[in-house]
Amino acid sequence: MINIILLGPPGAGKGTQARHLVETRGMVQLSTGDMLREAQANGSEMGKKVAAVIERGELVTDEIVIGLIREKIAEGAKGGFIFDGFPRTLGQADALGDLLAETGLKLDAVIEMAVDDAALVARITGRSTCGGCGEVYHDQTKPWAADGKCTNCGSTDIKRRADDNEDSLKTRLMEYYKKTSPLLGYYYAKGDLKSVDGLVAIDEVKAAIGKVLG
């Protein structure tokens, strides 16, 4: 069982790679972005509170996301956890370390998905996901089939995120560089950091991550 963090800016390909690891290694994906969007879709009080923050591209409070992750870690994962989009601040990273230690788990690797900022606008503005199963698509690099059906589950529910526009992306990138990128140094100093090239084709990124995980 291995526990890993996928670390990278918006559009680096964290969700795409996490889904692959779930399918091939039976790991459990913990995406705080997905959890927050689910809370919004359910109409919960917390979901309503964070909706505008997410749409603007800002980070929600550490308290909220640490609470979400605490609940999920308590449920356990036989194949290990993939932390996708968490931690995003030094406070979240410290809290994750404490939560793992409390449950007798350890972090095996933090994988930086290194990308060029210039590629991110095209990735984010071209993204869609399947409302049925969450499969991630892209207008140019991974388009929907001509019949409009998801190749994974057959659903025709094409979803686009409210924060996937150039304005929100600028804020999301600024949040990443101010609050999340210091985690690269944090995990390097701990000896956990590995880096893969996130700019190559999806299958090549899969292979590079596979190599890191062994």
Q: 19, 37, 123, 127: which one is catalytic?
A: 127
Rounded to an integer, what distance in angstroms lies between the CA atom of residue 43 and that of residue 28? 25
Q: Is 14 a catalytic site residue?
A: yes
Q: In this complex, which beta carbon is closest to ligand AP5, that of residue 59 or of residue 150?
A: 59
Q: How many residues does the chain have?
A: 214
Residue 209 makes contact with ligand AP5 by CB under 6 A: no
Q: Does 32 bind ligand AP5 (CB under 6 A)?
A: yes
The answer to whether residue 54 forms part of the interface with ligand AP5 (CB under 6 A) is yes
Catalytic: which of 19, 72, 172, 179? 172
CB of 200 to ligand AP5, least distance (A): 6
> Considering the rule CB under 6 A, would residue 20 count as an interface residue with ligand AP5?
no
Size of the site for ligand AP5 (CB under 6 A): 36
Q: Torsion over CA of 194, 199, 205 and 208, rounded to 10 degrees?
A: -40
- The CB-of-94 to ligand AP5 minimum distance in angstroms stands at 13
- Contact (CB, 8 A) for 24 and 137: no
Nearest distance from C-beta of residue 104 to ligand AP5, angstroms? 23
Tokens of 147: 């019949």
CB of 139 to ligand AP5, least distance (A): 8
CB contact set of 106 (below 8 Å; sequence gap of 6+): 3, 100
Which parts of the chain are beta strand (E)? 4-7, 28-31, 81-84, 109-114, 127-130, 136-138, 158-159, 193-197
Asked whether position 151 contacts ligand AP5 by CB under 6 A, the answer is no
DSSP three-state, residue 75: helix
Near ligand AP5 by CB under 6 A: residue from 24, 44, 141, 156: 141
